[in-house]
């Protein structure tokens, strides 16, 4: 029996070639995917959440097709400097200094926040989630290889990648489309860059000054790795020198991803990635999100509604549905009105899904179910086009209501295919959750738990164990659950 991926051909947009290409993994039936994770020095940014959610959807679809996917997403817990280049202070060390705590306390706090937020958005965990500090040895070994191959040099305890030397035999700038000559022309010589041979060179290892609290021993003295290096070390360790997909936000294309390519080619002579995928940015009310300008919202504020930009709170699934309504490569504008519109659409879709089990069947169907199903796959095969998929799901919702109203019909066989397909695309691939169904399930659990406690209290009273009886009543009251004894038995109210 053939696997689903053998019937469905994916065309994805490769940032390296600038065009859509047919996806063909290096190893049949297997996909290696690396996505740049967060630098854990603050609460996760909503724009970053959009990127991780987009790749979660891609991960889900590849798994649905039957691929065995190894999804690696790193945690940056060292080496990311405040100016995103080679100067300034380590972002985590700076936060630790300001709050007078250990750097790893900062890392722990914000890693937990990151995981909590992605869990709320129903993102699946990656197969492997390595940290930069856990791979210092691998990073040092790659630096040695690059030096041995003549593409890096040591200066005062720091090691820099020699971009001009590399460009003599390779093409630095091929991912971002930047021309090195133009970069040289447009670069001002900065005093802080004086120990580099060229302004375009980037750090593979930085010497740790006496005040730098995050430091490791190396052949070049105590220091810490460059930000770009960690992703090369972790991606190649877990996915091999060459792998299928590398993802991240559009803002990482240059210099981060450009440097990753250069590091791999300089160390092992191989182009590391076949398909580069980049998710686009999220704006807020038509403007770039910015903490300094106050034009910013954190993911947790969406759930509570505690933001001047929102009139109410929204469930994580509504927010996820809103994000899935735009293609991952397009700019998406976040606003209260857009979320309200998405909430209406989400509720309409869930209402239709919940009608599936009660639909009447007939001898024949008035909709080509297999054709509709393939149209959903066609949407996803076209560079994971989630908005087109959602449009097809709304067509299905319309058909469901027509069947319910007796204006259309469906056979029993087609209904089973229809139900299975809708559940696969709505829940397994888009990763949505039926908010009302979850709430009802939680209510059922609560009712069952309270009824059990009422029964235990009744037995305690029958045994004249009034201390236990009163304890159950009083502790439930502290939780906002008031028991009321009457002739018909004990009932409860929630306060």
Closest CA to 190 of 294, 85, 101, 283: 85
Residues in a beta bridge with 11: 22, 382
Q: Angle 71-75-79 (CA atoms, 0-180°, nearest 5)? A: 135
Question: Helix, strand or coil for residue 479?
Answer: coil
Find out whether 260 is annotated in a ligand binding site: yes
Residue 15 near residue 228, CB atoms below 8 Å: no
**Ligand-binding site membership of 478 (annotated):** no
Q: Return d(Cα 175, Cα 260) in angstroms, integer.
A: 10
**Does the CA dihedral 56-64-352-324 come out positive or negative?**
positive
The answer to whether 46 touches 282, Cβ cutoff 8 Å, is: yes
Both tokens assigned to 175: 């991912």
Pairwise CA distance, residues 37 & 250, whole Å: 13
Could you tell me the CA-to-CA distances from 83 to 277, 293, 409 in Å, in that order?
24, 18, 61
Q: How far apart are CA 438 and CA 440, in angstroms?
A: 5
Residues in Cβ contact with 96 at an 8 Å cutoff, skipping those fewer than 6 apart: 102, 103, 105, 106, 213
d(CA 314, CA 319): 7
Task: Look up residue 20 and give its DSSP letter.
Answer: E
**Residue 36 assigned as binding residue:** yes
CA distances from 96 to 38, 78, 357 (A): 17, 12, 54
316: phi then psi, degrees, rounded to nearest 5:
-55, -35
Strand runs (DSSP E) across 212-281, as ranges?
223-225, 243-249, 273-279
Distance of CA 30 to the CA centre of its chain: 21
DSSP 193: G
**DSSP state letters, 231-273:** HHHHHHHHH-SSEEEEEEEGGGIIIIIHHHHHHHHHHHSS--E
Is 256 labelled a binding residue? yes
Name every residue whose Cβ is closer than 8 Å to that of residue 267 and which is 6 or more positions away in sequence.
Answer: 142, 145, 146, 149, 232
- 278 annotated as belonging to a binding site for a ligand: no
Contacts of 53 (CB under 8 A, 6+ apart): 118, 121, 123, 320, 323, 324, 431
> How far apart (Å, rounded) are the C-alpha atoms in residues 362 and 383?
37
Which parts are annotated binding residues for ATP? 291
Which parts are annotated binding residues for Zn(2+)? 36, 231, 256, 260
Which parts are annotated binding residues? 36, 231, 256, 260, 291
């Amino acid at each position: 029996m053939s696997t689903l991926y053998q019937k469905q051909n994916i065309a994805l947009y490769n940032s390296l070639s600038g065009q859509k290409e047919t996806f063909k993994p290096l190893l049949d039936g297997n996909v290696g995917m690396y996505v740049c994770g967060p630098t854990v020095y603050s609460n996760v940014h909503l724009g970053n959440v959009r990127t991780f959610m987009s790749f979660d959807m891609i991960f889900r679809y590849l798994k649905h097709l039957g691929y065995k996917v190894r999804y690696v997403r790193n945690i940056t817990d060292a080496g990311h400097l405040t100016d995103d280049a080679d100067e300034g202070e380590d972002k985590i060390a700076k936060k630790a200094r300001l709050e007078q705590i250990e750097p790893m306390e900062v890392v722990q706090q914000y890693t937990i926040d990151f995981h909590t937020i992605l869990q709320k958005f129903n993102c699946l965990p990656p197969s492997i989630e390595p940290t930069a500090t856990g791979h210092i040895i691998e990073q040092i070994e790659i630096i040695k290889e690059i030096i041995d191959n003549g593409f890096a040099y040591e200066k005062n305890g720091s090691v820099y990648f020699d971009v001009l030397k590399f460009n003599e035999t390779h093409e630095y700038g091929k991912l971002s489309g930047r021309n090195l000559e133009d970069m040289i022309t447009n670069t001002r010589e900065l005093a802080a860059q004086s120990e580099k041979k060229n302004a375009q060179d980037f750090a593979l290892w930085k010497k740790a000054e006496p005040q730098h609290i995050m430091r490791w021993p190396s052949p070049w003295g105590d220091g810490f790795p460059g930000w770009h290096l960690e992703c090369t070390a972790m991606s190649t360790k877990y996915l091999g020198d060459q792998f299928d997909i590398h993802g991240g936000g559009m803002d990482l294309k240059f210099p981060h991803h450009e440097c990753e390519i250069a590091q791999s080619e300089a160390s092992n002579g191989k182009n590391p990635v076949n398909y580069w995928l980049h998710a686009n940015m999220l704006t807020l009310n038509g403007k770039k999100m910015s903490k300094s300008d106050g034009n910013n919202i954190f993911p947790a504020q969406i759930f509570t509604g505690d933001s001047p930009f929102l009139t109410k709170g929204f469930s994580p699934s509504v927010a996820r549905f809103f994000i899935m309504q735009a293609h991952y490569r397009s700019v998406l504008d976040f606003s209260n009105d857009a979320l309200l519109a998405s909430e209406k659409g989400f509720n309409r879709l869930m209402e239709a899904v919940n009608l599936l089990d009660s639909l009447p069947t007939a001898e024949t169907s008035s909709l080509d179910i297999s054709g509709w199903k393939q149209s959903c796959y066609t949407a996803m095969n076209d560079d994971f086009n989630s908005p087109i998929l959602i449009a097809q799901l709304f067509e299905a919702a319309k058909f469901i209501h027509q069947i319910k109203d007796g204006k259309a019909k469906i056979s029993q066989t087609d209904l089973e295919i229809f139900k299975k397909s809708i559940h696969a695309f709505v829940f397994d691939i888009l990763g949505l959750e039926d908010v009302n169904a979850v709430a009802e399930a939680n209510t059922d659990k609560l009712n069952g738990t309270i009824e059990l406690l009422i029964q235990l209290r009744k037995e305690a009273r029958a045994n004249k164990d009034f201390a236990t009886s009163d304890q159950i009543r009083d502790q439930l009251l502290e939780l906002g659950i008031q028991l009321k004894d009457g002739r018909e038995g004990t009932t409860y109210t929630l306060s």
